[in-house]
Each structure stands twice: as structure tokens, then as C-alpha cells.
Amino acid sequence: MHGTYVGHGRVLVKTTFGARLLAPSDDLGLMPELVAEGCYDAPFTSFLQRELSAGGVAVDVGANLGLFTLLMAWQVGPTGAVVAYEPEPRNFELLEQNVSLNHLDPWVEIRRAGASDAAGTAKLHRSKRFGMYHSLVPFEPGYVQRHMSFDELDEVEVPLEPLDDLLGRFERIDLVKVDVEGAEAAVLRGARGLIAAGIVQRFSVEVNRPRSGDAWRPFVDELRALGAAGWTFATLEADGTPVPTPLDPVLETGRASQLLVERL
């Protein structure tokens, strides 16, 4: 086991890459796998360990508790930088504590906001038992039918800001990880300035058609526009190795834990 209960509704996890992580003890999303395995999404973990290096810059959109924020910071070190976006108040509190717990504050910036296509506010749809499922996209009927016997859903107003607010701060961003449970299209729209300026080198986005709802078609349009502009696509092998893939089969499947979108 990789975790132990430390009181106040929290579990302390030792990750496979050495960081310490506080997680809610009642969470049914990330917490069980973190405690059992010490990581979540092993292929992406291996990918980050292989691809990010000292002095790099990474952005974690939908940072949640900070698992990948910590790993990114671990990899780029104090000569690099990580910017993490997390709008949900409970997750943000743990993200903030996890960054401090691992003494990464000097090169990790935490934004208490959701990344979107414009500044403002919006309703964040939340699950009480699955903290990784919070989204600006409403829960699909299938989720409600499957989980409402033991889950509770609510909404909270959260601030939004576009990734283009980072323009002028970094000459190069090596990776932007986007995991926002169906709201990826708005994140990509809000990064068009960074893309046009040649600053972002690679995105990693979750593809989840059922969770995207009405935002699926705009998401497809954003991916196709990147493909038309010469960006390439890849999925990850079990060991984290990128495997080039055409976009259409991924869209037909409608699911990919991590789709890499890379500038040529």
C-alpha cells in the first residue's frame, strides 16, 4: 500500500516518483488507485518522466489534487516553471498544500481558476464522491443514472481565465496538459494566441465524447483546425511511448486518456 490515513478526512500517499500527496479519504476517483498503486495513469506518468526535463515549462489545466503538477515540477526543477489551474475550492486547497508539502512553491504557480476561452465566471458541476469529475460541462444523464444512489451533485460559481493570459511570460511552453472532463474545446480556444505565437509545443488532452455533451463538436473542430495547421497526433503505449496516429480513428472511438497534439 502507498497511503495511510492521517486524520481530518485525508490520506497521505507516497507516489511512485517520490512526492507526498494528500488526498480526501472519501474520494472514489483518484484516491483508491493512488493508495493501491502510488500513481494514476501510469502511461502518462512515464511519458512525463521521459519528456519533461530540467528548465522546462509545463501547464497543468485541471490540476485537481496536484498529482501531475507535482510530477511536472519534479521534472523541470527550480530552473523551470509549472502553472496549475484548479477552480474547485476543495481540490484547490489540497493542491496548494501538496505543492507546499513537497517544497515546490518557488517554481509552481497555482491559479484558482478554470482555464476557458475568456475571463469571467461560470458554474462548475461537482460530484461529492468523485472529485476528478468536476466540470464546466453538466453531467450526462448516464452518469446520473449510474451514480446517484451513492453520489451527490451540486454546482459552485468559479472564476475563469484564458491560457492566453500567459502570453509574454514564457518564450516556450513544452507541454499543456488539459483534463477538464469535456470542456477541452474552450481551453483550446483560449490558447489560440499562444498557439499562433509558436509558444506551445505540445498539448495532451483527454478525449471523452460521452462527457463532452454539446461541447464535443466544438472540440472536434479545434482538433481538426490544429491538424490542418500541421500539428500531429499520438496516443501513448503502456510504457508511455508516443505512437503517431491519425485523428479520425480517435474521434470515431471517442475516448483517449491522453491524446498528444504536437507542433511539427
**pLDDT category of residue 142 using cuts at 50, 70 and 90:** confident
Please name which of 134, 179, 180 lies closest in space to residue 44, comparing C-alpha atoms: 179
Taking only the tens place, the pLDDT of each residue in 154-202 is 999 999 999 999 999 999 999 999 999 999 999 999 999 999 999 999 9
| 179 residue type, one letter | D
In the predicted structure, residue 246 carries a pLDDT above the cut 90: yes
Are the C-beta atoms of 17 and 71 separated by less than 8 Å? yes
Residue-wise pLDDT for 196-239, tens only, equals 999 999 999 999 999 999 999 999 999 999 999 999 999 999 99
Does 148 score more than 70 pLDDT? no
Q: pLDDT confidence of 144, banded at 50, 70, 90?
A: low
- pTM over the 0.75 mark: yes
Residue 19 is predicted with a pLDDT of 97
% residues pLDDT > 70 (the chain): 99
Q: pLDDT tens digit string along 76-115?
A: 999 999 999 999 999 999 999 999 999 999 999 999 999 9
Query: pLDDT by residue (tens digit) across 11-23?
Result: 999 999 999 999 9
* Integer angstrom CA distances of residue 256 from 44, 66, 153, 158: 12, 21, 25, 27
Q: Residues, the chain, total?
A: 264
Residues 194 and 201: their CA atoms lie apart, in Å, by: 10
Q: Sort strands 175-178 and 202-208 into parallel, antiparallel or unpaired.
A: parallel
Sheet order of strands, 3-7 included: 3-7, 10-14, 20-24
Residue bearing the bigger pLDDT, 140 or 33 = 33
More confident of the two residues 36 and 147: 36
Q: Which residues contact 70 (CB under 8 A, 6 or more apart)?
A: 15, 17, 19, 21, 98, 99, 102, 104
Q: Which domains does the chain have, with CATH numbers?
A: 40-119+158-262 (3.40.50.150)
Tens-place pLDDT, residues 4-13: 999 999 999 9
Integer Cα distance of 79 and 134 in angstroms: 32
